[in-house]
Amino acid sequence: MARIKICSPGEYIQGNGEIKRLSEHAAPFGDKGAYIIVDSFIYKNYGQDIEGSFKADGRPYKVAVFGGECCQTEIKKHCAASTSYSVIIGIGGGKTLDTSKAAGYYNNMPVMIVPTAASSDAPCSRLSVVYTESGEFEDYLPLPKNPDMVLVDTDVVAKAPARFLAAGIGDALATYYEAAACVASNAVTMTGGHSTLAAFSLAKLCRDTLLEDGIKAYQAVLSGVRTKAVENVIEANTYLSGIGFESCGLAAAHAVHNGMTVLEETHKLLHGEKVAFGTITQLVLENCPSEELTKIIAFCKKIGLPTTFADLGIEGIDDDRLMKVAELSCADNDTMGNMPFDVEPGDVFSAMKAADFIASGIASPKIGARPAVADAKCTMSLRKLNMDEIKDLSSILSKYQEDFEIMSGKYISDAKSMLGLLNIDWDRGAELIIHRDDPALIKSIKKFVR
């Protein structure tokens, strides 16, 4: 087995406006054009940018809207539809990108990946995570190569809700701690080699960048601006974490995430949100120094990442269900075995309970939530809205210059943004924060009040 094996995409390109140059970037892959798998929301908002350069260049293309789950049915659908094109382009979130990579693998086609949020390290990896049609973890699909190109439009990524950036930080924060476990156990990496000095250095740089710039980047995105800290965190979430995890390995943090997929309540959480709790659980398993554990928990709390059962939506979970999570996290096909000591389901069960208890006692308010409430003219409790009502609310609020925030639990999003509204957990209820004293506005919103 190879001792040195570092894997990375053929090209990694990060800059402003790159989504408007898709045709130019796709040209080297062949003259038969591109089969484009794209998230429905991204297509609605960036469809003209996505298609514009292909139309201008006269290059063939076909847009296929992603079905919502990276499952065998979805993968096979795109495999059948993409055979007459030169390259598959995946545009959107992690599951869209994983589906695109899997289809490219089965069709032996080059793949170009365009993440629209820095919410995970999936874009750069030679791996697809496959789920059942109902959203439960099924298996990892190792791929023979990384994407041929990863293209990151930082303007698009910076406009995504701050929750997405935070989730990417949660995913990337695990990279160093899992890499350290794999180095200690001399584990075989996702690519069939062993951890290397270069890969472990990238994993450490990833963590250091997040702890240095993560909160600043989160604040900037909440404010609707792109700063150097945002650029750095996008690179850390996407590239440093992608190379670090793949060429070092995964361990308990991601295994716990996979275990939690058995709980339907967690399906509404983003990947990196669950991984963040998995990282805290791994640190408890390792009995890491209290100072380090407290630092990581406080950091996660400040950017709205789940650190307790209540944050995960499983407050009061009974022991039998929690044990099912622990048992699935220790499955033979998962990465718990990369820990440098034996881990049994009972150990994971205890560590998760301890992580919840410890984090519940650490106070570190989420950034952005209090200031929004402090200067509000009023707040309104909204009922669960359907898609048409969400569009209507966004349209009403977009007519005004003032900011509006929507809060559900500990999460806060831009209420004028459709993406922000769509990522609210409406089942838990939502509070609309209004910074304008306007009776006509209040009257127009009353139809949404519960």
Q: Please name each of the domains of the chain with its CATH number.
A: 12-158 (3.40.50.1970), 161-360 (1.20.1090.10), 369-448 (3.30.1340.10)
**Catalytic residue list:** 171, 254, 257, 271
- The per-residue pLDDT for 370 is 42
Mean pLDDT, the chain, rounded, equals: 89
- The per-residue pLDDT for 440 is 86
Q: What is the pLDDT of residues 337-348, one digit of tens each?
A: 999 999 999 999
Q: What is the pLDDT of residues 97-143, one digit of tens each?
A: 999 999 999 999 999 999 999 988 889 989 898 999 888 888 889 89
Q: What is the pLDDT of residues 61-81, one digit of tens each?
A: 999 999 989 999 999 999 999
pTM of the prediction?
0.76
- The per-residue pLDDT for 364 is 64
Q: Which ranges of the chain have pLDDT less than 50?
A: 369-375
- The per-residue pLDDT for 373 is 45
Instruction: Read off φ and ψ for residue 440, nearest 5 degrees.
Output: -65, -40
- The per-residue pLDDT for 419 is 62
